[in-house]
């Protein structure tokens, strides 16, 4: 096994699937010579050629429309939307077409489409390049929504997503791509991490913390600190796939801990963790010793200035505080 970054793991998943299956191809902006805005597809043009690494004009709506049309006729496209903020431009094609085609046709079509996109803030890219818009897609029946938090999962989840016959929104985090802190051993061969299964990233008995994407890493940091400094043992659950949601892994955890903190980067109001909180409160009412609490982004767009951005997006200390408050 080799150590790979998140970015390398994602690239490897695509390369391996493309070698295996000639119907898999990439489509998106600046993914060819440039290798993608974040470098994820670097080298893929050289290996797979222009026919399968399709560089497009700047037309997000058409990218998803075209990918969808090719998916229902036998291809398995991986479409890249450079920043997740721009899924809004393609939202009709995502939510009204790709997501619904199978259902509207009475089950007589499949849409094996993966939409890869880079979400999250922390890069100073401001309000239109930093959003965490997963709640918008997770609400749409027909879509699956995946947010890997580490290289191992990224590779396995992406392979599962490509193998899946449904449209999958695969949201990567910009701050994970080259994050040296979370390089991992990643098997060379292909493997699947199943969609619809969460993962306990750290065991603990005092409190459960459920998080998504980069916030899993932040939560793990907070958990380590609290363990070392105060002997508090947090169980950190990586939700991994928002839809289908593995609610059982969270319920199992709170049976043990009685407390749940939900952590996400998106603005708290109307965010995805509302769903998690609602389900846990309903199904786990008897096991909860305290209300489910959310730590999430502030209710504003992502600001540009570093001081403001750090205030908007939850950091380790905010998560720590959330845990302590919930325990105390």
Partner 1 sequence: MGNDLKAEKPYITIDGYRVEDKFSGLDDSIKIEMLRKMYQIRHFENETEQFIIRGMIHGTCHLYTGEEATAVGAIYAINDDDYITSTHRGHGHCIAKGADLNIMMAELLGKRTGYCKGKGGSMHIADVDSGNLGANGVVGGSIGIATGAALTCKMKRNGKIVVCFFGDGAANQGIFHGSINMASIWDLPIIYLCENNVYGMSTPVKEAFNIEKISDRKYAYGIEGLTIDGNNLVEVFNTVSHFNGECRVGRGPVLIESLTYRWRGHSKSDAQVYRTREETKQWVGKDPIERYKKILIDQKILIEKEDRDLEKEVISQIKEAAKFARESPFPEPSEVEDDVYA
Ligand X SMILES: Cc1ncc(C[n+]2csc(CCOP(=O)(O)OP(=O)(O)O)c2C)c(N)n1
- Binders of partner 1 in range 74-93 (CB under 8 A): 74-75, 77, 85-86, 89, 92-93
Based on its alpha-carbon atoms, the radius of gyration of the chain, rounded to whole angstroms, reads: 19
Contact pattern from residue 46 through residue 75 relative to ligand X, giving x for each residue in contact according to CB under 6 A and a dash for the rest: ------------x-x---------------
Q: What mask, x for binding a copy of itself by CB under 8 A, covers residues 115 to 144?
A: -----------xxx------xx-xxxxx--
- How far is the CA of 107 from the CAs of 54, 65, 110, 142, 311, in angstroms? 29, 19, 8, 11, 46
275 binds, among partner 1, a copy of itself, ligand X, none (CB under 5 to 8 A by kind): a copy of itself
104 binds ligand X (CB under 6 A): no
For residue 269 the two structure tokens come to 């109001």
Q: How far is the CB of 248 from partner 1 (least distance, A)?
A: 19
Question: Whole-angstrom Cα distance, residue 170 to residue 157?
Answer: 9
d(CA 299, CA 156): 33
Structure tokens at 223: 């958990």
SS3 state of residue 40: coil
CA pair distance 12, 191, nearest whole angstrom = 11
**Residues 303, 115, 31: CA angle, nearest 5 degrees:** 80
Q: Is residue 285 packed enough to be buried (19+ CB in 10 Å), middle (13-18) or exposed (0-12)?
A: exposed
Q: How far is the CB of 42 from a copy of itself (least distance, A)?
A: 28
By the rule CB under 8 A, 259 interacts with a copy of itself: no
Site for ligand X in 7-46 (CB under 6 A): 29
Of 273, 311, 305, nearest to 292 by C-alpha is: 273
Left if phi > 0, otherwise alpha if psi is -120 to 50, otherwise beta: which for 211? beta
59 binds a copy of itself (CB under 8 A): no
Question: Which residue's CB is nearer to ligand X, number 84 or number 212?
Answer: 84
Minimum distance of partner 1 from residue 318's CB (angstroms): 11
Q: Is 129 a catalytic residue?
A: yes
CB of 210 to partner 1, least distance (A): 23
Is 264:272 a contact under the CB 8 Å cutoff?
Answer: yes
Given 183, 293, 308, 327, the residue binding partner 1 (CB under 8 A): 308
| Residues in 308-327 that interact with a copy of itself by CB under 8 A | none
Q: What is the token pair recorded at 83?
A: 């920043």
State in angstroms the smallest separation of the CB of 257 from a copy of itself: 16
Give, as one character, the DSSP assignment of residue 119: E
Based on the number of CB atoms within 10 Å of its own CB, is 37 exposed (0-12), middle (13-18) or buried (19 or more)? Answer: middle
Minimum separation from the CB atom of position 159 to partner 1 (A): 17
Contact call for residue 272 and ligand X (CB under 6 A): no
306 touches a copy of itself by CB under 8 A: no
From the candidates 129, 155, 174, 243, which is the catalytic residue?
A: 129
# residues contacting partner 1 (CB under 8 A): 78
User: Which residues have a catalytic role annotated?
Assistant: 129
User: Which residues sit at the interface with ligand X, rule CB under 6 A?
Assistant: 29, 58, 60, 82, 86, 89
């Amino acid at each position: 096994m080799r150590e790979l970054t998140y970015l390398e793991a994602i690239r490897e998943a695509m390369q391996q699937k493309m070698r295996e299956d000639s119907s898999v191809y990439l489509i998106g902006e600046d993914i060819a010579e440039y290798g993608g805005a974040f470098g994820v597809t670097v080298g893929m043009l050289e290996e797979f050629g222009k026919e399968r690494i399709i560089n497009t004009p700047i037309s997000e709506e058409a990218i998803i429309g075209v990918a969808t049309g090719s998916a229902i006729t036998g291809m398995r496209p991986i479409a890249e939307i450079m920043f997740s903020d721009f899924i809004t431009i393609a939202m009709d094609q995502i939510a009204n077409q790709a997501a619904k085609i199978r259902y509207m046709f009475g089950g007589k079509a499949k849409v094996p489409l993966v939409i890869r996109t880079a979400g999250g803030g922390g890069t100073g890219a401001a309000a239109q390049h930093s959003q965490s818009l997963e709640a918008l897609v997770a609400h749409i029946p027909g879509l699956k929504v995946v947010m890997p938090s580490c290289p191992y999962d990224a590779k396995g989840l992406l392979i599962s997503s490509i193998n899946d016959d449904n449209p999958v929104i695969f949201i990567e985090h910009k701050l994970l791509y080259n994050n040296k802190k979370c390089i991992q051993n990643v098997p060379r061969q292909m493997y699947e991490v199943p969609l619809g299964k969460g993962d306990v990233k750290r065991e603990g008995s005092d409190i459960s913390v459920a998080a998504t994407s980069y916030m899993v890493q932040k939560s793990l940091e907070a958990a380590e600190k609290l363990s070392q400094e105060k002997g508090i043992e947090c169980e950190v659950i990586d939700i991994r796939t928002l839809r289908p949601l593995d609610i059982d892994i969270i319920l199992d955890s709170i049976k043990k801990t009685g407390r749940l903190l939900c952590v996400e980067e998106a603005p708290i109001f109307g965010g995805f963790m509302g769903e998690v909180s609602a389900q846990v409160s309903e199904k786990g009412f008897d096991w909860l010793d305290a209300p489910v609490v959310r730590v999430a982004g502030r209710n504003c767009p992502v600001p540009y200035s570093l001081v403001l951005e750090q205030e908007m997006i939850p950091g380790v200390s905010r998560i720590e505080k959330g845990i302590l408050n919930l325990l105390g």
